[in-house]
Amino acid sequence: MKIAVVILNWNGKALLEKFLPSVVAHSSEATIYVADNASTDASVAFVKANYPEIKIIPNTENGGYAKGYNQALQHVEEDIFCLLNSDIEVTQNWLSPILQEFKTNSETDIIQPKILDYKNKEYFEYAGAAGGFIDKYGYPYCRGRIFDTIEKDENQYQDANIFWASGACFFIKKETFKILDGFDESFFAHMEEIDLCWRAFNLNYKTKYIGASTVYHVGGATLQSSNPKKTYLNFRNSLFTLTKNASGSLFFLIFTRLVLDGVAAIKFLLQLKITHILAIFKAHFSYYTALPRLLKERKKLPKKKDYYQTKSIVFSYFIKGNKTF
């Protein structure tokens, strides 16, 4: 079973300089690729000059995470894809537990390792932590991270089936990626991996967390949480995902989301984050514009009712005070 580590890059020379050494040093089992989203800096020249063994896949445009990987992975022949952010430091033997799981458990199709914070290595990192879940209304959360509460890693989360794996370090069988028709390119960035995992879940594919593999993620290297564009993409893409994949009454789900997103806008107002309020309004406008296409997508796959463990993570966290998984 052959594995490819594919790093998507866009004007990320500084990140490649910092994090490629760990990937090269600890990934002898893999073929390493850098998929470049039409960078205008010297990042591709840097890789060619310093790591001639790494294969370069040139994309024709910056199509974001979703389109960038969809285009690049057409040129990758290995059995397993590892989609690795350029701001991740990997550790010794990080690939061994992943390959072992794929080899011994044929039912596992998607895997996420333990993702810890590069800047505070005893704690989980926001984007993925110890594996993701989602509530009835499409709000994602993780074992080890719910909203802004980040847990210290004390090996409290063991290997388990999860609902979604983080796109920061995302392993998937090539055949599964092909059957699912890759990422939804309309997402551009943020939550496209949740959409993919939800589609996989509806087709009975298994997503798993493997804690014996550890990586350290900087997070926010592309868009920081303070950037209103990230707020826009997260709110819009969450609605996209919910509409395409959730079972039950869509009208009820979207109406409830409208109310909950309004509460989030009030929270931003109290923080005087006006640009983030505008981002939420923009997200909803974009969603309603895309609704006819999303409804067509909704008809393509079967829907499973048991996609959520927690009915409302917002109610559980903010009203009941449950701060940990």
Helices (H), ranges, 84-161: 96-104
Alpha carbon distance 125, 113 (integer Å): 12
Cα 48 from chain centroid (whole Å): 28
Name the one residue in this structure whose structure tokens are 């929270």: 267
Place of tokens 């109610």: 315
Are the C-beta atoms of residues 289 and 119 closer than 8 Å to each other?
A: no
DSSP type of residue 253: H
Task: Say what the alpha-carbon torsion angle 65, 67, 73, 75 is, to the nearest 10 degrees.
Answer: -130
What is the pTM (predicted TM-score) of this model? 0.95
Neighbour count for residue 79 (Cβ, 10 Å) = 14
The 10s digit of each residue's pLDDT in 248-306 is 999 999 999 999 999 999 999 999 999 999 999 999 999 999 999 999 999 988 999 99
Q: What span, in angstroms and rounded, lies between the C-alpha atoms of 185 and 192?
A: 8
Give me Rg for the CA atoms of the chain.
Answer: 19
pLDDT tens profile 23-42: 999 999 999 999 999 999 99
Domain positions in the chain: 3-217, 228-319
- First and final C-alpha spacing in the chain: 34
CATH topology classification for 3-217? Spore Coat Polysaccharide Biosynthesis Protein SpsA; Chain A (3.90.550)
Q: Which residue has the tokens 């993780």?
A: 142
pLDDT in tens, the chain (325 residues): 999 999 999 999 999 999 999 999 999 999 999 999 999 999 999 999 999 999 999 999 999 999 999 999 999 999 999 999 999 999 999 999 999 999 999 999 999 999 999 999 999 999 999 999 999 999 999 999 999 899 999 999 999 999 999 999 999 999 999 999 999 999 998 899 999 999 999 999 999 999 999 999 998 655 566 789 999 999 999 999 999 999 999 999 999 999 999 999 999 999 999 999 999 999 999 999 999 999 999 998 899 999 999 999 999 999 999 999 9
Judged on CB neighbours under 10 Å (0-12, 13-18, 19+), 175 is exposed
